[in-house]
Chains A and B, each alone.
Chain A
């Protein structure tokens, strides 16, 4: 199956710093990528829908100025957590979709962010 690479897998940072997470579709072009956040023992919460070449669409309650999403190419989307705080500590997962088909939705391996 298709591969989505997410990097880094784990990051520990100090409060107030910014963290960038990359999501790459390695063998297909993804016009749409999704960013999810998952707290321990909870489900994946959709944060935003990222479309190549246009502004991301954020879900209600997600601060667009805090979670910056850039989808500059058909194979790369980035999520930057700006001025991270301990409450931002979570598991962040990206997914990339092939040809608008949800059965062709592939997940990255996730990034565990810990803010001290």
Chain B
């Protein structure tokens, strides 16, 4: 079982809609979770981090964490074509708190 799992997509949504991205993790010891956005051929850039159960909002982005279900999600409101990218979920693991990434979900926002 992979440590961090995501649906590879593509997830296609119309401009202005809400995009919902999901992620599950296997290690109950993980305490920190992150969402990154990656454009093709570029390095990932951090969008959100979340540590506690519940929701965390930042602008158009809302991260949700449910530790009992080992589930993390990212909602993007008012999706824009510029949001089209691959979204990577990551969990902090181990003594070095290393980041383990999921396979990523490709999001396509069409006008």
Given A43-B88, A105-B46, A110-B42, are A34 and B98 neighbors across the interface (CB < 8 Å)?
yes
Interface residues on A, range: 20 to 34
Tell me which residues across on chain B come within 8 A of A110, comparing CB atoms.
Answer: 41-43
CB-CB contacts of B82-105 with A at 8 A, as 1s and 0s? 000000100010001111111110
CA distance A36 to B101 in the complex (A): 10
Chain A nearest CB from B111 CB (Å) reads 24
* B99 proximity list for chain A (CB < 8 A): 34, 46, 95, 102, 105
Instruction: Determine if A43 and B98 form an interchain contact, defined as CB atoms under 8 angstroms apart.
Output: no
B5 CB to closest chain A CB (Å) equals 10
Tally of contacts, chain A with chain B, CB under 8 A: 48
Partner of A43, one of B42, B49, B103: B103
A49 touches B96 (CB 8 A): yes
Report the separation of the CA atoms of residues A109 and B39 in the bound assembly, to the nearest whole angstrom.
Answer: 12
Task: Scan B42-60; emit 1 where CB is below 8 A from any A CB, else 0.
Answer: 1111100100000000000
B104 touches A43 (CB 8 A): yes
CA distance A108 to B44 in the complex (A): 9
- Which one of A44, A103, A109 contacts B101 once the chains associate, using CB atoms below 8 Å? A44
Contacts of A67 in B (CB 8 A): none
| A100 part of interface (Cβ distance < 8 Å) | yes
> With A49-B96, A100-B97, A102-B34 known to touch, is A43 a contact of B102 (CB < 8 Å)?
yes
Instruction: Report whether B49 and A109 are in contact in the complex, using a CB–CB cutoff of 8 Å.
Output: no
Q: Judging by beta carbons under 8 Å apart, are A102 and B49 in contact? A: yes
Closest B residue, CB atoms, query A49? B96
Knowing that A32-B96, A43-B101, A110-B42 touch, tell me 14 more A-B residue pairs with CB under 8 angstroms.
A34-B98, A34-B99, A43-B102, A43-B104, A44-B44, A45-B101, A46-B98, A46-B100, A100-B97, A102-B97, A102-B99, A103-B49, A107-B44, A110-B43
Q: Which 8 A-B pairs rank lowest in CB-CB distance, beginning with the nearest?
A: A107-B43, A43-B103, A44-B101, A43-B101, A49-B96, A43-B104, A103-B49, A102-B92
Between A and B, 13 residue pairs with Cβ closer than 8 Å are A34-B98, A44-B101, A45-B101, A46-B101, A51-B96, A102-B32, A102-B49, A102-B99, A103-B34, A107-B44, A109-B43, A110-B42, A112-B41
